[in-house]
Amino acid sequence: MSERVRAGLLVVGHVDPKSQHIAGDYPELFDALLEPVDVEVVPYAVDEGRWPASLDECDGWICSPSRLSVYDDVDWISEMEKLVLELLAREKPFVGICFGHQLLAQALGGKVEKSPNGWGVGVQEYEIIEQLSWMHPPLERFKLIASHQDQIVDVPADARVIARSEYCPVAAMAVGDRAWTVQAHPEFVPELADQLLAGRVELIGADRVAVARESLQTTSHRDAIASWIATFLRAGR
């Protein structure tokens, strides 16, 4: 049995309420993802003003996805940037997912904008270009469910790209030894992604939605990424 670790989940958004009956909101999704690898998820609703009293309350930290963009004019986004920079300065383990991936880049001086190629949705495949010690099991490529139009277009000087795809050149990123981020959604399950896609045909486009929904039949590497997160958090204690 692995030693149990506590991950503070910085909740910066919510699953569409019409779809929460499938697998819950982000706290439930991340709990289902990480409970099997002995990670206890402790949610903090920072978008509602509930911040951790101390960064020592948990062994490491995860930033959730959000339907907002990191460049939106929302007060708590700038506060989240300060928090992420403090985590880096104190070398606290940090994992950013989707919005959290983009937030770390923006906080360090990178740039995030909408892709001219439109939405990246469905199961996407990414090439790993830097193997890191916590990547157990090791993979050369991985597949995850994606759902984004924004993406990192300028990588900050302090960061390095660790995974990429043709559509998403900055699919995963690392900063030092204590922070890494990924654009896709390891916490998503196919049933949730399918319902979200079904409700976004006008937004995304019928053809792209059809292809994305078909791709959900493909097995993703969500369990492997959960193992990476757990190994990473334990290494940073």
- Which stretches of 51-133 are assigned E, i.e. beta strand? 60-63, 94-97, 111-114, 120-128
Determine the Cα–Cα distance for residues 175 and 82; give it in Å rounded to an integer: 16
Active-site residue (options: 58, 63, 98, 168): 98
Closest CA to 23 of 192, 214, 221: 192
Q: Report residue 51 as tokens.
A: 């911040």
Q: Which H/E stretch holds residue 185? A: none
Distance CA 93, CA 30 (A): 16
Active site residue 168: no
187 is catalytic: yes
Q: By three-state DSSP, how is residue 119 classified?
A: coil
Catalytic pick from 58, 63, 168, 185? 185
CA–CA distance, 30 with 43 (Å, rounded to integer) = 10
Confirm whether 185 is a catalytic residue.
Answer: yes
Beta strands at 141-148 and 120-128: parallel, antiparallel or unpaired: antiparallel
137 upstream amide cis, omega within 30 of 0: yes
3-state secondary structure (DSSP) of residue 103 = helix
> Of 63, 125, 168, 187, which one is the catalytic site residue?
187
Query: Do β-strands 94-97 and 179-182 pair in parallel, antiparallel, or remain unpaired?
Result: parallel
Q: How far is CA 158 from CA 164, 174, 182, in A?
A: 18, 9, 16
> Whole-angstrom Cα distance, residue 180 to residue 178?
7
> Which residues are designated catalytic?
98, 185, 187
